[in-house]
Amino acid sequence: MVTTQEFQRKYERLSDRSVTPSPESDIDADCLMAFGYEYQGQDSEVEIDTDEFTAVCPWTCLPDFGVLRVSYVPDRLCIELKSLKYYLLSYTGVGIVQEHAANRILNDLVAACRPNRMTVSLDYKVRGGIHTTVTVRHEQDAA
């Protein structure tokens, strides 16, 4: 059986471990695809969610897990879901703060499908006793 002192020494050595997060440049927005929407002008709302979003804190390298919700009204294009899955997988291991992740996802999805409006919400699991939800919105300019 391990003594308390031996356990303490092993525990303190955990701080010596070095984990390097992947850079934001590893996020693969190029894999996002969109297909033509045949009902332009209708105010149809598309809702997508997944409870499998993950990235890492850029400072601690600890994982952040969250529920991602995307809601949008298409204009001419819809997001292709398999490409969205691969896009979201590219966040795994990437060091990005929670607030930036939500904004980056919104910007990449808007660039991919140019919706009339879109809302992205990242509802993170509690970490260190703190719960965070980040919600960002885009509305197409009325031209």
User: Which tokens belong to 41?
Assistant: 């002008």
Q: Is 28 noted as a catalytic residue in this protein?
A: no
Break the chain down into helix, strand, coil percent, rounded to 5. 30, 35, 35
Which listed residue (26, 28, 31, 57) is catalytic? 57
Within 10 angstroms of residue 72's Cβ, the number of other Cβ atoms is: 23
Phi then psi dihedrals of residue 106, to 5 deg:
-55, -50
Q: What is the set of active-site residues?
A: 57, 64
